[in-house]
Amino acid sequence: MPCNQRTTAAVLAAALFFLPEGHTAPPAPRDGDWPMATLDYANTRYSPLTQVDARNVSSLKVEFTFSTGVARGQEAAPIIVGDTMYIVTPFPNVVYALDLSRPGAPTKWKYESRPRPPAQGVACCDVVNRGVVFWEGRIIFNTLDGRTIALDANDGKRLWETQLADINIGETITMAPMVVKGKVLVGNSGGEFGVRGWLVALDAKTGKTAWKAWSTGPDSDVLIGPAFKPYYASERGKDLGKTTWPPDAWKIGGGTVWGWISYDPKLDLIYYGTGNAGPWNAEQRPGDNKWTAGMFARDPDDGQARWFYQFSPHDLFDYDAINESVLVDLNINGQLRPVIVRPERNGYLYVMDRATGQLLSADAFVPVNAIDRVDLKTGRPHWNTEKQPSSGKVTRQICPAAPGAKDWNPSAWSPQTGLLYVPHNNLCMDWQPNEVNYIAGTPYVGADAVYYAGPGGNRGLFTAWDPVARKAAWQIREDLPVWSGTLTTAGGLVFYGTMDGWFKAVDARSGKLLWQFKTDSGIIGQPVSYRGPDGRQYIAVLSGIGGWPGAVVVNNLDTRDATAAAGWGSALPDLKDRTTAGGTLYVFSLPR
């Protein structure tokens, strides 16, 4: 039975038309544009365009290409507003505006942000950037050395610049910003350097700080006050951001904010996740380590926390919780509920009430043995004691591995099928903690890891997940980890890329491969779709291997060292033979 007959899901994008009076309108460019990396506040990445469909997708051809000139990991989403496409490169974070109204999309302008070179030395997982955002005539983006910059979208002139992160203590910024109610939301990276996570809201017109919420520390720093009403008892109490840590460990405890933000304009709440607790060696930080490896719901006006849920209390295996929260309305047990659907790094796919933080379901979407199950009454996972790590001992066959069942690369939601399309890994690992001391600006990890293929021998999977039936509708085995983002369209298609450079379109209902194209490098970017000035539908994606696993290629690492790239050496000994570094934008269309 088609999922959409029993799932009355409605993407939150529709709710954008019901903003409360007085609220600033979200970026609302023309129909068919792609104004921010997530496409919409609900993080659906669902294009309503239908020209390219299952019947004609096999005719897709390259319309034009553009070299970024940077052969590092290309994780950004191209942004399209009107007749212009905006892309940002990895370090050195050059922004290009391409004129889509002219043949070959020549450059309108470019902006060189000139980040400080030492920033590259404290980027844990390649020098990536996940995209710009368009807001009221501005292009806003982050630089690796910790600045947020706003440009005039018409001519690329700088309007304001704000320094946020400090590379001297290991902070960088790699995330794509989001603008909500006139505030630019930006978080830091650096969880492997003992930094303390935060989310900052900047005035989008001036760049001045409106509020800052830390991920650890006293309630006053975390912006926890009377409005904080977490659903579960384990999240209640005074100053848990201090008391669930050894003395002062919260000051170097991670919880960075380098992933995705969602916004529900009806509830007027933003949602975002916090990264792993630091260091990786959990023996050095007994306790739940609030508020790491979980997610906050906050008021975008003042940043005050409304609720929190911790996916991995006392994180044992670098299970960052920065993945995308997809906001949809689902019929759960006969009741239409506003929910968050979230494929998590710890291997479970969560469905949560986004008004309260109540857990409605949590099901493993890959083979998982690190966590036995998630208790829906307490909200807490049950860690498998047989996989409990300890110093001086190698614990083997832990699933999923530290990069998670799924890392940052975003999934997509189709209201047509009621399915979430999840690009992810199938990896397990051996893990040995060791003692580590904190020195500002240097790695603060404390564990050695070796990754390898999970059950079945394939290292990647692409899964269409039914969150109501709580099971996979279909699944594609991929030899390599799937590290690209996902796009789904009203043409009944799903697009994703592979680390050896194949860009694929599959049928959204069956997973049948309908089209593929070999690009010149591995794909870890985010595909998008847009309507061009000529009224035609286009599909765009950046090709260029890199990121955490792709460091094997871009840094030419010797994979005979199983721990190369913090554990990827053993998992990807063949990657350098299957792709080379690159940095090219590909744009596809149907023949004229």
**CA diameter of the chain:** 66
21 is catalytic: no
d(CA 144, CA 165): 9
Q: What DSSP designation does 550 have?
A: H
Q: Looking at beta carbons, which pairs linking 332-336 to residues 24 or more positions away fall under 8 Å?
A: 332/360, 332/468, 336/8
Q: Is 121 helix (H, G, I), strand (E, B) or coil?
A: helix
d(CA 257, CA 294): 10
d(CA 400, CA 153): 42
For residue 346, which of 378, 295, 312, 323 has the smallest C-alpha distance?
312
Active-site hit among 192, 264, 407, 500:
192
What is the amino acid identity at position 129? N
> How many CB atoms sit inside 10 A of residue 29's CB?
16
Q: Is 485 helix (H, G, I), strand (E, B) or coil?
A: coil
318 is catalytic: yes
Active-site hit among 43, 276, 281, 409:
276
Active-site hit among 318, 329, 430, 500:
318
Following DSSP, what letter does each residue of 210-239 receive, concatenated?
EEEEESSS-HHHHT--TT---SSGGG-STT
d(CA 434, CA 9): 47
Q: What DSSP designation does 514 have?
A: E
Q: Is the peptide bond before 258 cis (omega within 30 degrees of 0)?
A: no
CB 131 within 8 A of CB 526: yes
For residue 528, which of 29, 80, 62 has the smallest C-alpha distance?
80
d(CA 467, CA 350): 8
Please say whether the dihedral angle defined by the alpha carbons of residues 424, 429, 433 and 438, taken in this order, is positive or negative.
Answer: negative
| Bridge partners, residue 178, by sequence | 185
Cα-based angle 145, 120, 522 (whole degrees, multiple of 5)? 115
Q: What DSSP designation does 240 have?
A: H
458 is catalytic: no
Q: Give kind and range of the element (H or E) at residue 135.
A: strand 133-135
Paired tokens of 114:
């000139």
Paired tokens of 463:
């899964």
- In terms of DSSP bridges, do strands 447-453 and 460-466 run parallel, antiparallel, or are they unpaired? unpaired
d(CA 420, CA 37): 17
d(CA 526, CA 409): 8
Chain-centre distance of CA 364, in angstroms? 19
What is the amino acid identity at position 210? A
For residue 326, which of 170, 488, 506, 148 has the smallest C-alpha distance?
488
For residue 79, which of 482, 528, 393, 546 has the smallest C-alpha distance?
528
Residues annotated as catalytic (active site), given as ranges: 192, 276, 318
